Structures are given as structure tokens and as C-alpha cells.
């Protein structure tokens, strides 16, 4: 640090001694020395530039204690070759010493089954321990690169004495007495090497449409520029990687707790995992939380979400108000004989579609609340599958609160907007009541994009991010939340058309006289077709992105499925607008093909059902719901909406989508369980040019 010609250079030598050298300028002989920095600040600064101690250091070898042998059984441990891993493992065999006694054959069968189960558990645990050790080694390398980058970016001049072997001038000022006093801190303040920066590249940090295009031509890696943005992005990625790795270790530790009473021999591995957890926690607190252990542990192990009784109270209040408003609307319609009013047709052509939008939205939210309730009841880990930040996922009570609150506002607006006859004095309807639907839409949109921490901001932001990724489908890697949201929109085509009607009615129509003549014609009809096609086209792009990314070859067929739906939708819409035998045949054939294709894909690919030789005939081997008839009822649901009216079709499609949601996530959850996926895979910020070179 330089102060008016005086240069103070603070550094730590290879021996761990902190020194300060002043340049010998004339000012240095006159001006007093600046006040020394606090010891804690120096220690903190030194720790940031210190070489990473590693997560997998050698633990002290402990001689295992011999198990006490029972007089009845004898346990032998045999080393065997693991065919899958190509490594030597250990298998345990129990010998029953009293097999000749009466009933001994049953004891032999029992211990044989016990050995099989124990060896399965032991092999799984052994494989997982090896996996987390490998992950820890990779995190070691990533931390070495991060610390070297931190040194290079933050203070490249100050760290040169630590990394340049030829610079020995500073060592002359090291006093022998001071060196002896700080001998215990030699390893603590050993500086990290910058040599690692010559062998790494930084992975692309931000995924944007522009970066996706660049990656096609230049690859997914980029050279280091040694700037603070690179450092911040790398630190954020590694922070998330530590969080997920800590969660993985905690799950493995809990696995031991669940099995230690039955399989006490497995506990010899416990110390290794426990110490690894301590090292992960220590490294995370030091490098990502500025030494604040409370903050670090709250990030690694967030508190469980507590259920609030006030939410349940307000849900009851809102549902009660909704029922009262429904009764009031029915009584009002009957008392005023509005069904026989001359303005009934005009009301149904204009006002009814405006409020139907909220009806579809509330119904979809109710179905989602039911999904969340049953996912929670049957332990489907929907929070992990969707990728919600721990503790921010909405429970069914919160979803019901939102849907019931919106229901109250909508029904209150309907009750105040039941006028079906023009005012004889003004020859128009009341402007305030006619603007109520537009006001409700505006309120919903403003709450959705509100930046303040109200109305479940984390979930709203998550929704907007997924929506943006859906809009830019070709430029982002498709994740489950992205295509799940796009699938929801395919079941809300009528809602999207009503949004189009909002824009036309209030933008170009005469809403004071309920005149929607401008919302007709060829241009409006073309836009209607485009609006209906957009959700399916997004799914086509998402499927093609997954197919081209090499994740799943079946995504090409999935894209074909959605494209067939687009063809059927366009044919049906044109046939409705221009009736004719030829168009009717085309619409019927394309609709039939799309219906069969979609139904088969939903049942077989998305739900994993219709397995002929499974343990549950025509279902699948593993089921969550105890009653198998529910699955067969759900498989019949897609055919319910064949000949219904528009509003009824839209409602039934939303209900069908709600059923699809549950069984789709059930299948995803069972796949995760089968593959032992309980934590997310986090991309790491650095990649080594030569993976075989351990630096």
C-alpha cells in the first residue's frame, strides 16, 4: 500500500511470518509509520490467499476394534472382486454354529438373507463413500484454482514474493527469534501457488441467448481474463457446489444413522464421512461466508419450513367468502331475472370471457394445490425435482390461500358487474364496473412482477425465470421446470385466447357499450391460431434442444408429438372458421392421430405405465398410490373432453393437466429414487486442460 511516496508491502513468507518492508525514500525517514492493521484483518487477508488445505487429507489410521463374537454365530469378512467397479470389496458371511439343532435350517435361511441384505447396504455405502471422496478431490482442485484466481485478481503485485522463487530479498529481514515464535503457523500461512492458472480454463458462467450462439462456434469454455467478474462467478458456482456437496454428505450420514442399529459394522466408515463433513463446513464458512459460522451453517442446513396457522385461517375465511359471493350471485340473477334479459347474449359474448380467464386460473391453482397435497402425502420430493431453493417451496395451504384470495376478488367483481341493460340516460354501461376485469388482470400482473419481498417473491421470481427460459427455448438448456411450465400452458390455450380478447376488447373495442365487433375478422382469427400454437411450438423447440444436446434420443419423437398437435389444432381452428367436408376430414384425421399419440406418450413415457410384464400388470413395478384402480381411472381421463363445450373443455383440460402433473412427478420421483439422486449436480467453474495432470 502506498501513502505519498511511502510504500508498505505486507506479505507472508513461505515460513508463515507476516512482514512489512518500507522503501528507503527520504520521506520514510521523516514521516511516522502508519498505524498497524488489526491482527484479525491480517489473519483474514492471509487466509484468503492461503493454499487450500483440502477436503480429503489423510486421516489418522485407527486400528479397527475387533467385534465381539457371539457363541452362536461367527462372522467372516472376505475380500471379493467387484465386477461392476473392477475393484476389491468386502463381503460378510455369517456362520450359524448350531445348524444341527432342531430348527437350525430356518436360522441358516435367516442369516443367509441377512447377509445378502447387509452386503447390499455395505456395497452401496462403500460405493457412495468412494463417490464423495472423488467429488471432494475435484472440489480440492477447484478451490486451488479459485484461490489462485483470487490472488491474481485482488493483489497480483503483493503476492509475487510468495510465488516467485527467485525473489529472495525479502527473506533477509526475517528475524530468527520471530521465526521460532511463529513456527506453529508455518503451514497455516503457506501461500497458494499460481502455477495452477496455467492449466485451467474457466467454464462459461452465464447462459444467455447470445452466449448459446457463441458456444456453438467457439465451444463452451473461455480463457481466463483475470477480472473480478470471473472471480465472482467462479466463487458463486463453487459456493453452490459446496452447498450441494454438503447436502449429499448429510444424506449419506443420515443413511448411516438409519442402518447403524441393524448393521453396526458399517459404522467404521462413519468417522470418515463425519470428518469430511466438518472439513466441508469449515472450508465453506472460511471461503464463502467470511468466517461467519452461523451464516454458513444456516446456508448449508436451512431450517425446515414452519407451517403458519394464519394461512389456514385466511384460507377458511376466503373460501367462506367465495361461497357467500356465489350464493349472492345466484340470488341476484334469479331475483332480477337476468337469464331472460335482452342483453344476456351480449354479456356472454363480452363480459363472460373476461371473467372466465380468472376462473381457469383459479381452477389451475386448485389443481396444483391438490397436486402438492398428494405429493407431500406420498412423499414425492417435488421441491427437489423442481429445483426450489430449500424452504421457499409453496405448500398446498399457501397455494390455496392465493387461489381463494383471487376467487374472492373475481366473484366480488362479477357481482358488481351483473348489469345487462344499458343505462337509459347515458346509453352506455358504467365505466368503472366495465373496467373491473381489466383492473383485476393489471393487479395480478403487477403482483407477479413486483420486486418487493411480498407475496412469495422467491416463487414469483422462479416462475418468471422459467417463463423467460420457455420464451427463449432454443437458447437455454431445457430443465424439468421449463418444460413442465410449458406443458401447463398447453392446457391453458383458452386462457391465452382470452388474454388476446382482453387486448382487443379494451384496446380497440367499445367497452362502454360492450361492442366487440373489432375482435372479429381474418386478422383476429390468424392471431388466435398463432396464440394457440405458441405453447406447443415452445415444447417442440425444447424437445429439439434436448435432442440436439444428446440428452435423450426419444425427444425427437416427443417433438413430433407436439408438432402433430399443432397441425391438428390449426386444422380444427380453420375448419371451425370455414366449414367444409374436406377440412372436416383433415381436422378429424389429424385430431385422431394427435390424440392417440399424446395419450400413448402421456401414459407410457411421462407416467411410465402400460408395462405388460411388470409386478403390477399394465402399470409399473413401483407405485406410490396404494389403490391401483386410481391409475386406470387416470388413464381414462384424457378422453373425457371429446364433445364438450368450449368452457367445459377448457376446465376438463385443466383437470386433466392436474392429473398429469401428479403422475408425471411421481414417475420422476421414482426415477430419482431408483438412481439415488437426492442432490443437484452443480457445474463447476474451472476445467483443467489436462485432466490426467494433478496439480
Answer whether 502's CB lies under 8 Å from 441's CB. yes
Look up the pTM and report it: 0.63
Of the listed ranges 162-171, 239-248, 318-327, 344-353, the one predicted with least confidence? 162-171
Of the listed ranges 242-246, 270-274, 596-600, the one predicted with least confidence? 270-274
Q: What is the pLDDT of residue 185?
A: 46
Q: How many angstroms from the chain centroid is the CA of residue 413?
A: 37
User: In DSSP terms, which residues pair with 491 in a beta bridge?
Assistant: none
pLDDT tens for each residue of 214-232? 665 555 555 677 788 888 8
The average pLDDT across 596-619 equals: 81
> Do 483 and 622 share a domain, yes or no?
yes
Residue 316's pLDDT band (cuts 50, 70, 90):
very high
Answer whether 438's CB lies under 8 Å from 432's CB. no
Integer CA distances (angstroms), 498 to 357, 528, 577, in order: 6, 10, 17
**Range with top average pLDDT, 186-195, 414-423, 451-460, 609-618:** 451-460
Integer CA distances (angstroms), 292 to 59, 284, 303, in order: 26, 10, 17
pLDDT tens for each residue of 173-210? 334 444 444 444 444 456 667 777 777 877 755 566 76
Q: How many CA atoms lie within 13 A of 434 on its CB side?
A: 19
Residue 100 C-alpha cell reads as 444341527
Picking from 192, 210, 241, the residue at the C-terminal end of a domain is 192
The average pLDDT across 604-633 equals: 77
Query: From CA 68, how far away is CA 568, in angstroms rounded?
Result: 73
**Residue scoring higher pLDDT (559 or 188):** 559
Its sign, for the CA torsion 493, 495, 501, 507, is: negative
Give, for 688, the enclosing helix (H) or strand (E): strand 686-688
Above 90 in pLDDT, residue 463? Answer: yes
Mean pLDDT rounded to a whole number for the chain: 75
Q: What is the pLDDT of residue 96?
A: 65
Residue 395 lies in a domain: yes
pLDDT tens for each residue of 524-544? 888 988 999 999 999 999 999
Q: What is the pLDDT of residue 156?
A: 63
Instruction: Report the chain's C-alpha Rg in angstroms.
Output: 34
> Do 334 and 455 share a domain, yes or no?
yes
Q: What is the pLDDT of residue 211?
A: 67
> Do 5 and 123 share a domain, yes or no?
no
Q: What is the dihedral of CA 387, 392, 397, 400, to 10 degrees?
A: -70
Q: What is the dihedral of CA 690, 194, 246, 304, to 10 degrees?
A: -130
The helix/strand/coil state of 86 is coil
Query: From CA 70, how far away is CA 57, in angstroms rounded?
Result: 37
Q: How many angstroms from the chain centroid is the CA of residue 240?
A: 12
Above 60 in pLDDT, residue 261? Answer: no
The average pLDDT across 409-418 equals: 93
Close Cβ partners of 425 (under 8 Å, ≥ 6 residues apart) = none
Q: What is the pLDDT of residue 645?
A: 46
Residue 514 lies in a domain: yes
Q: What is the dihedral of CA 98, 103, 106, 107, to 10 degrees?
A: -30
Above 60 in pLDDT, residue 474? Answer: yes
User: In DSSP terms, which residues pair with 94 in a beta bridge?
Assistant: 75
Residue 269's pLDDT band (cuts 50, 70, 90):
low
Q: How many CB atoms lie within 10 A of CB 372?
A: 24
Residue 169's pLDDT band (cuts 50, 70, 90):
very low
User: In DSSP terms, which residues pair with 89 in a beta bridge?
Assistant: 80
Above 60 in pLDDT, residue 301? Answer: yes
Residue among 624, 619, 623 nearest 635 (CA): 619
Domain that holds residue 122: 73-130
Above 60 in pLDDT, residue 495? Answer: yes
> Do 349 and 485 share a domain, yes or no?
yes
Q: What is the pLDDT of residue 601?
A: 85
The average pLDDT across 14-42 equals: 40
Its sign, for the CA torsion 260, 263, 267, 273, is: negative
Above 70 in pLDDT, residue 250? Answer: yes
Query: From CA 14, how far away is CA 668, in angstroms rounded?
Result: 53
Q: What is the pLDDT of residue 47?
A: 63
Above 80 in pLDDT, residue 263? Answer: no
> Do 124 and 1 share a domain, yes or no?
no
> Do 342 and 402 share a domain, yes or no?
yes
Q: What is the pLDDT of residue 638?
A: 44
Residue 357's pLDDT band (cuts 50, 70, 90):
very high
Residue 578 lies in a domain: no
Above 60 in pLDDT, residue 58? Answer: no
> Do 176 and 126 share a domain, yes or no?
no
Residue 59 lies in a domain: no
**Residue scoring higher pLDDT (302 or 602):** 602
Close Cβ partners of 590 (under 8 Å, ≥ 6 residues apart) = 564, 567, 568, 571, 572
The average pLDDT across 557-582 equals: 86
Please report which residue ranges of 417-521 form alpha helices under DSSP H.
Answer: 431-434, 436-449, 457-471, 480-490, 493-507
Query: From CA 222, how far away is CA 238, in angstroms rounded?
Result: 17
Close Cβ partners of 443 (under 8 Å, ≥ 6 residues apart) = 409
Above 70 in pLDDT, residue 407? Answer: yes
Answer whether 223's CB lies under 8 Å from 197's CB. no
Residue 563 lies in a domain: no
Residue 689's pLDDT band (cuts 50, 70, 90):
low
Above 60 in pLDDT, residue 168? Answer: no
Give, for 173, the enclosing helix (H) or strand (E): none
Residue among 200, 192, 206 nearest 152 (CA): 192
Q: What is the pLDDT of residue 329?
A: 93
Q: What is the pLDDT of residue 272?
A: 66
φ/ψ of residue 503, rounded to 5: -60, -45
In which residue are the cell numbers 373475481 written?
410
Buried b (16+ CB within 10 A) or exposed e, 88-127: ebebeebebeeeeeeeeeebeeebeeebeebbebbbebbe
Residue 668's pLDDT band (cuts 50, 70, 90):
confident
Q: What is the pLDDT of residue 486?
A: 92
Above 90 in pLDDT, residue 307? Answer: no
Domains identified in the chain, total number: 3
> Do 482 and 376 share a domain, yes or no?
yes
Query: From CA 371, how far away is CA 282, in angstroms rounded?
Result: 39
> Do 368 and 480 share a domain, yes or no?
yes
> Do 182 and 110 share a domain, yes or no?
no
Q: What is the pLDDT of residue 330?
A: 92
Number of H helices and number of E strands within the chain?
Answer: 23, 8
Residue 690's pLDDT band (cuts 50, 70, 90):
low
**Residue scoring higher pLDDT (349 or 62):** 349
Residue 418 lies in a domain: yes
Residue 31 lies in a domain: yes
> Do 510 and 408 share a domain, yes or no?
yes
> Do 165 and 28 share a domain, yes or no?
yes
Residue 86 lies in a domain: yes
The average pLDDT across 63-76 equals: 52
Amino acid at each position: 500500500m502506498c501513502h505519498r511516496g511511502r510504500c508498505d508491502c505486507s506479505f507472508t513468507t513461505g515460513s508463515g511470518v507476516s512482514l512489512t518492508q518500507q522503501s528507503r525514500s527520504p520521506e520514510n525517514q521523516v514521516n511516522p509509520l502508519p498505524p498497524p492493521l488489526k491482527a484479525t484483518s491480517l489473519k483474514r487477508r492471509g487466509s484468503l490467499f492461503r493454499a487450500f488445505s483440502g477436503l480429503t487429507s489423510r486421516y489418522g489410521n485407527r486400528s479397527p476394534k475387533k467385534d465381539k463374537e457371539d457363541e452362536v454365530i461367527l462372522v467372516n469378512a472376505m475380500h471379493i472382486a467387484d465386477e461392476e467397479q473392477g475393484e476389491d470389496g468386502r463381503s460378510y458371511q455369517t456362520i450359524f454354529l448350531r445348524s444341527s439343532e432342531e430348527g437350525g435350517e430356518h436360522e441358516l435361511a435367516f442369516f443367509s438373507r441377512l447377509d445378502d441384505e447387509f452386503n447390499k447396504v455395505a456395497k452401496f455405502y462403500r460405493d457412495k463413500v468412494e463417490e464423495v471422496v472423488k467429488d471432494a478431490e475435484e472440489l480440492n482442485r477447484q478451490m486451488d484454482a479459485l484461490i489462485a484466481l483470487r490472488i491474481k485478481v485482488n493483489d497480483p503485485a503483493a503476492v509475487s514474493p510468495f510465488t516467485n522463487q527467485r525473489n529472495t530479498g525479502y527473506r533477509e529481514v526475517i528475524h530468527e527469534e520471530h521465526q521460532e515464535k511463529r513456527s506453529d503457523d508455518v503451514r497455516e500461512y503457506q501461500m497458494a501457488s499460481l502455477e495452477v492458472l496455467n492449466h485451467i480454463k474457466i467454464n462459461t458462467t452465464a447462459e444467455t441467448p447470445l452466449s448459446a450462439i457463441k458456444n456453438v462456434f467457439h465451444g463452451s469454455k473461455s480463457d481466463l481474463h483475470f477480472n473480478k467478474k470471473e472471480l465472482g462467478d467462479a466463487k458463486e458456482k463453487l459456493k453452490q457446489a459446496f452447498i450441494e456437496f454438503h447436502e449429499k454428505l448429510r444424506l449419506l450420514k443420515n443413511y448411516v444413522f438409519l442402518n447403524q442399529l441393524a448393521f453396526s459394522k458399517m459404522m467404521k466408515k462413519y468417522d470418515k464421512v463425519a470428518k469430511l463433513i466438518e472439513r466441508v463446513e469449515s472450508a465453506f464458512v472460511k471461503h464463502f461466508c467470511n468466517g461467519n459460522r452461523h451464516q454458513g451453517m444456516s446456508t448449508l442446513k436451512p431450517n425446515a419450513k414452519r407451517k403458519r396457522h394464519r394461512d389456514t385461517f385466511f384460507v377458511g375465511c376466503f373460501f367462506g367468502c367465495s361461497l357467500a359471493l356465489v350464493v349472492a350471485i345466484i340470488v341476484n340473477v334469479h331475483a332480477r331475472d337476468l337469464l331472460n334479459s335482452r342483453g344476456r347474449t351480449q354479456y356472454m359474448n363480452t363480459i363472460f370471457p373476461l371473467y372466465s380467464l380468472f376462473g381457469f386460473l383459479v381452477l389451475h391453482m386448485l389443481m396444483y394445490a391438490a397436486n402438492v397435497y398428494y405429493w407431500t402425502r406420498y412423499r414425492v420430493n417435488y421441491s427437489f425435482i423442481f429445483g426450489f431453493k430449500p424452504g421457499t417451496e409453496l405448500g398446498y395451504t399457501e397455494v390455496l390461500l392465493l387461489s381463494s384470495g383471487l376467487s374472492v376478488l373475481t366473484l366480488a367483481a362479477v357481482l358488481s358487474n351483473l348489469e345487462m341493460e344499458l343505462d337509459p340516460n347515458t346509453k352506455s354501461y358504467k365505466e368503472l364496473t366495465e373496467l373491473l376485469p381489466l383492473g383485476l388482470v393489471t393487479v395480478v400482473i403487477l403482483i407477479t412482477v413486483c420486486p418487493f419481498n411480498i407475496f412469495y417473491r422467491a416463487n414469483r421470481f422462479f416462475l418468471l425465470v422459467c417463463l423467460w427460459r420457455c420464451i427463449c427455448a432454443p437458447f437455454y438448456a431445457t430443465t424439468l421446470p421449463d418444460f413442465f411450465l410449458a406443458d401447463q400452458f398447453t392446457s391453458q390455450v383458452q386462457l391465452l385466447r382470452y388474454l388476446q380478447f382482453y387486448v382487443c376488447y379494451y384496446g380497440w373495442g367499445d367497452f362502454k357499450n360492450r361492442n366487440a365487433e373489432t375482435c372479429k375478422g381474418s386478422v383476429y382469427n390468424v392471431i388466435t391460431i398463432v396464440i394457440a400454437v405458441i405453447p406447443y411450438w415452445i415444447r417442440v423447440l425444447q424437445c429439439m434442444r434436448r435432442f440436439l444436446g444428446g440428452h435423450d434420443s426419444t425427444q425427437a419423437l416427443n417433438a413430433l408429438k407436439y408438432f402433430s398437435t399443432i397441425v391438428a389444432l390449426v386444422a380444427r381452428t380453420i375448419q371451425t372458421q370455414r366449414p367444409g367436408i374436406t377440412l372436416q376430414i383433415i381436422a378429424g384425421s389429424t385430431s385422431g392421430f394427435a390424440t392417440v399419440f399424446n395419450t400413448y406418450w402421456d401414459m407410457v413415457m411421462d407416467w411410465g405405465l402400460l408395462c405388460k410384464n411388470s409386478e403390477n400388470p399394465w402399470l409399473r413395478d413401483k407405485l406410490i398410490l396404494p389403490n391401483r384402480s386410481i391409475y386406470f381411472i387416470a388413464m381414462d381421463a384424457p378422453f373425457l373432453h371429446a364433445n364438450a363445450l368450449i368452457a367445459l373443455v377448457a376446465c376438463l383440460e385443466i383437470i386433466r393437466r392436474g392429473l398429469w402433473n401428479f403422475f408425471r412427478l411421481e414417475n420422476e420421483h421414482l426415477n430419482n429414487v431408483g438412481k439415488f439422486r437426492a442432490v443437484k449436480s452443480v457445474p463447476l467453474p474451472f476445467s483443467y486442460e489436462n485432466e490426467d495432470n494433478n496439480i
